[in-house]
Amino acid sequence: DEDIIEVLGSPKMERDKYEDNETAGVVTGLAWTQVGGDILFIESILSKGKGALNITGNLGKVMKESATIALEYIKGNAGELGIDPEVIEKYNVHIHVPEGATPKDGPSAGITMLTSLVSLYTQKKVKKSIAMTGEITLRGKVLPVGGIKEKILAAKRAHIKEIILCEENRRDIEEIKEEYLKGLKFHYVKEMKEVIDIAILKEKVKNPKKL
Amino acid sequence: DEDIIEVLGSPKMERDKYEDNETAGVVTGLAWTQVGGDILFIESILSKGKGALNITGNLGKVMKESATIALEYIKGNAGELGIDPEVIEKYNVHIHVPEGATPKDGPSAGITMLTSLVSLYTQKKVKKSIAMTGEITLRGKVLPVGGIKEKILAAKRAHIKEIILCEENRRDIEEIKEEYLKGLKFHYVKEMKEVIDIAILKEKVKNPKKL
Amino acid sequence: DEDIIEVLGSPKMERDKYEDNETAGVVTGLAWTQVGGDILFIESILSKGKGALNITGNLGKVMKESATIALEYIKGNAGELGIDPEVIEKYNVHIHVPEGATPKDGPSAGITMLTSLVSLYTQKKVKKSIAMTGEITLRGKVLPVGGIKEKILAAKRAHIKEIILCEENRRDIEEIKEEYLKGLKFHYVKEMKEVIDIAILKEKVKNPKKL
Amino acid sequence: DEDIIEVLGSPKMERDKYEDNETAGVVTGLAWTQVGGDILFIESILSKGKGALNITGNLGKVMKESATIALEYIKGNAGELGIDPEVIEKYNVHIHVPEGATPKDGPSAGITMLTSLVSLYTQKKVKKSIAMTGEITLRGKVLPVGGIKEKILAAKRAHIKEIILCEENRRDIEEIKEEYLKGLKFHYVKEMKEVIDIAILKEKVKNPKKL
Amino acid sequence: DEDIIEVLGSPKMERDKYEDNETAGVVTGLAWTQVGGDILFIESILSKGKGALNITGNLGKVMKESATIALEYIKGNAGELGIDPEVIEKYNVHIHVPEGATPKDGPSAGITMLTSLVSLYTQKKVKKSIAMTGEITLRGKVLPVGGIKEKILAAKRAHIKEIILCEENRRDIEEIKEEYLKGLKFHYVKEMKEVIDIAILKEKVKNPKKL
Amino acid sequence: DEDIIEVLGSPKMERDKYEDNETAGVVTGLAWTQVGGDILFIESILSKGKGALNITGNLGKVMKESATIALEYIKGNAGELGIDPEVIEKYNVHIHVPEGATPKDGPSAGITMLTSLVSLYTQKKVKKSIAMTGEITLRGKVLPVGGIKEKILAAKRAHIKEIILCEENRRDIEEIKEEYLKGLKFHYVKEMKEVIDIAILKEKVKNPKKL
Ligand SMILES: [Ca+2]
Ligand SMILES: [Ca+2]
Ligand SMILES: [Ca+2]
Ligand SMILES: [Ca+2]
Ligand SMILES: [Ca+2]
Ligand SMILES: [Ca+2]
Ligand SMILES: [Ca+2]
Ligand SMILES: [Ca+2]
Ligand SMILES: [Ca+2]
Ligand SMILES: [Ca+2]
Ligand SMILES: [Ca+2]
Ligand SMILES: [Ca+2]
- Residue E14 pLDDT grade (very low, low, confident, very high; cuts 50, 70, 90): low
DSSP state of E4: -
| CA gap D100, C32 in Å, rounded | 15
Residues B68, C45: C-beta atoms closer than 8 Å: no
Nearest to F35 among A3, A26, A54 (CB): A3
Max Cα–Cα distance, chain D, nearest Å: 56
Structural domain contains residue E1: no
CB-side neighbour CA atoms (13 Å) of E21? 20
User: Cα of E131 to ligand 10 centre, how many Å?
Assistant: 8
User: Cα of F40 to ligand 11 centre, how many Å?
Assistant: 6
Whether the predicted pLDDT of E210 surpasses 60: yes
| CA gap F125, F127 in Å, rounded | 6
Per-residue pLDDT of chain F in tens (211 residues, 90 and over written 9): 344 554 444 444 455 778 888 899 999 999 998 888 999 999 999 998 999 999 999 999 999 999 999 999 999 999 999 999 999 999 999 999 999 998 999 999 999 999 999 999 999 999 999 999 999 999 999 999 999 999 999 999 999 999 999 999 999 999 999 999 999 999 999 999 999 999 999 999 999 999 9
Give the distance from residue C178's alpha carbon to the nearest chain B alpha carbon, in angstroms: 33
> Helices (H), strands (E): how many in chain B?
7, 13
Residue F120: Cβ within 10 Å count:
29
Residue C15, pLDDT score: 57
Contacting residues for A109 by C-beta, under 8 A, at least 6 apart = A29, A31, A40, A42, A63, A66, A97, A133
- φ, ψ (nearest 5 deg) of residue A137: -125, 160
Residue C46, pLDDT score: 94
Catalytic residue among C44, C66, C108, C119: C108
Q: Which helix (H) or strand (E) holds E168?
A: none
D99 alpha carbon, closest ligand:
7
- Closest to B21 (Cα-Cα) out of B211, B206, B158: B206
Residue D9, pLDDT score: 42
Residue B11: Cβ within 10 Å count:
14
Residue C133: Cβ within 10 Å count:
32
| CA gap D149, F147 in Å, rounded | 58
What is the tens place of the pLDDT at every residue in F66-110? Answer: 999 999 999 999 999 999 999 999 999 999 999 999 899 999 999
On average, the pLDDT of chain B sits at 91
Residue B6, pLDDT score: 44
Asked if the C-beta of E73 comes within 8 angstroms of chain D's C-beta atoms, the answer is: no
Catalytic residue among B44, B66, B108, B119: B108
Q: Which helix (H) or strand (E) holds B140?
A: none
Asked if the C-beta of C208 comes within 8 angstroms of chain D's C-beta atoms, the answer is: no
Q: How far is CA A117 from the centre of its chain?
A: 9
| CA gap F180, E73 in Å, rounded | 39
Contacting residues for C49 by C-beta, under 8 A, at least 6 apart = C90, C91, C92
User: Cα of F195 to ligand 11 centre, how many Å?
Assistant: 23
Over residues E101-120, the mean pLDDT reads 96
- φ, ψ (nearest 5 deg) of residue E106: 105, 165
Residue D44: beta bridge partners? D95
| CA gap E68, E52 in Å, rounded | 11
User: Cα of A58 to ligand 11 centre, how many Å?
Assistant: 25
**Which CATH number is D112's domain given?**
3.30.230.10
- Residue E19 pLDDT grade (very low, low, confident, very high; cuts 50, 70, 90): confident
Helix (H, G, I), strand (E, B) or coil at E87: helix
Helix (H, G, I), strand (E, B) or coil at D117: helix
What is the tens place of the pLDDT at every residue in B37-56? Answer: 999 999 999 998 999 999 99
Q: Which helix (H) or strand (E) holds F42?
A: strand F36-48
Structural domain contains residue D178: yes
| CA gap E44, E29 in Å, rounded | 14
F151 is an active site residue: yes
CB-side neighbour CA atoms (13 Å) of C128? 4
Contacting residues for C70 by C-beta, under 8 A, at least 6 apart = C110, C113, C114, C116, C117, C136
Decide: A113 and A106 in contact? Cβ < 8 Å: no
- Residue range(s) defining the domain that contains residue A149: 21-200
On average, the pLDDT of chain E sits at 91
Q: Where are the beta strands (DSSP E) in chain A?
A: 5-6, 27-33, 36-48, 53-56, 91-96, 104-105, 124-126, 130-132, 135-136, 142-143, 162-166, 185-189, 200-204
Query: Which residue type is seen at C122?
Result: T
Catalytic residue among F44, F66, F108, F116: F108
Residue E133: Cβ within 10 Å count:
33
Structural domain contains residue E158: yes
| CA gap A26, A119 in Å, rounded | 8
CA dihedral B156, B158, B160, B166 (to 10 degrees): -70
Structural domain contains residue F171: yes
Residue B197, pLDDT score: 98
| CA gap D40, B162 in Å, rounded | 58
Structural domain contains residue A80: yes
Residues A135, B45: C-beta atoms closer than 8 Å: no
Decide: B46 and B209 in contact? Cβ < 8 Å: yes
What is the tens place of the pLDDT at every residue in B99-131? Answer: 998 999 999 999 999 999 999 999 999 999 999
SS3 content of chain E, % helix, strand, coil (to 5): 35, 30, 35
CA distances, C54 to each of C44, C71, C91, E131 (Å): 10, 11, 11, 49
Max Cα–Cα distance, chain B, nearest Å: 56
| ipTM higher than threshold 0.85 | yes
- Helix extents (H) in E26-169: 61-76, 78-81, 85-90, 110-122, 148-157
Give every residue of chain C whose pLDDT is below 70, as ranges: 1-15
| CA gap A98, B198 in Å, rounded | 49
Residues F8, E103: C-beta atoms closer than 8 Å: no
Where residue F183 falls (left for φ over 0; alpha for ψ -120 to 50; beta otherwise) is: left
- φ, ψ (nearest 5 deg) of residue C6: -130, 55
Per-residue pLDDT of chain D in tens (211 residues, 90 and over written 9): 344 554 444 444 455 788 888 899 999 999 998 888 999 999 999 998 999 999 999 999 999 999 999 999 999 999 999 999 999 999 999 999 999 999 999 999 999 999 999 999 999 999 999 999 999 999 999 999 999 999 999 999 999 999 999 999 999 999 999 999 999 999 999 999 999 999 999 999 999 999 9
Whether the predicted pLDDT of B4 surpasses 70: no
Helix (H, G, I), strand (E, B) or coil at B173: helix
Residue of C nearest to D104 (CA): C62
Structural domain contains residue A4: no
Give the distance from residue C176's alpha carbon to the nearest chain B alpha carbon, in angstroms: 33
Residue of higher predicted confidence among A207 and B9: A207
Contact residues, D window 34-53, toward C, CB-based 8 Å cutoff: 41, 43-48
Residue length of chain A: 211
Asked if the C-beta of B210 comes within 8 angstroms of chain A's C-beta atoms, the answer is: no
Which burial class, exposed, middle or buried, applies to D204 when counting CB atoms under 10 A from its CB (0-12, 13-18, 19+)?
A: middle
Residue E191: Cβ within 10 Å count:
13
Structural domain contains residue E80: yes
| CA gap B205, D171 in Å, rounded | 81
- Closest to A197 (Cα-Cα) out of A164, A148, A168: A164
Structural domain contains residue A189: yes
Q: Which helix (H) or strand (E) holds D193?
A: helix D192-199
- φ, ψ (nearest 5 deg) of residue A56: -135, 170
Decide: C172 and C164 in contact? Cβ < 8 Å: no
| Chain D residues near residue E7 by CB distance under 8 angstroms | 31-32, 105-108, 145-147
B108 is an active site residue: yes
Helix (H, G, I), strand (E, B) or coil at F169: helix
C99 alpha carbon, closest ligand:
5
Asked if the C-beta of E135 comes within 8 angstroms of chain F's C-beta atoms, the answer is: yes
Which burial class, exposed, middle or buried, applies to B129 when counting CB atoms under 10 A from its CB (0-12, 13-18, 19+)?
A: middle
Whether the predicted pLDDT of E95 surpasses 90: yes
Per-residue pLDDT of chain A in tens (211 residues, 90 and over written 9): 344 554 444 444 455 788 888 899 999 999 998 888 999 999 999 998 999 999 999 999 999 999 999 999 999 899 999 999 999 999 999 999 999 988 999 999 999 999 999 999 999 999 999 999 999 999 999 999 999 999 999 999 999 999 999 999 999 999 999 999 999 999 999 999 999 999 999 999 999 999 9
Domain count, chain F: 1
DSSP state of B94: E
D163 alpha carbon, closest ligand:
8
- φ, ψ (nearest 5 deg) of residue A202: -75, -25
Residue A7, pLDDT score: 46
CA angle at residue E168 from E164 to E173, to 5 degrees? 65
Query: Which residue type is seen at B62?
Result: V
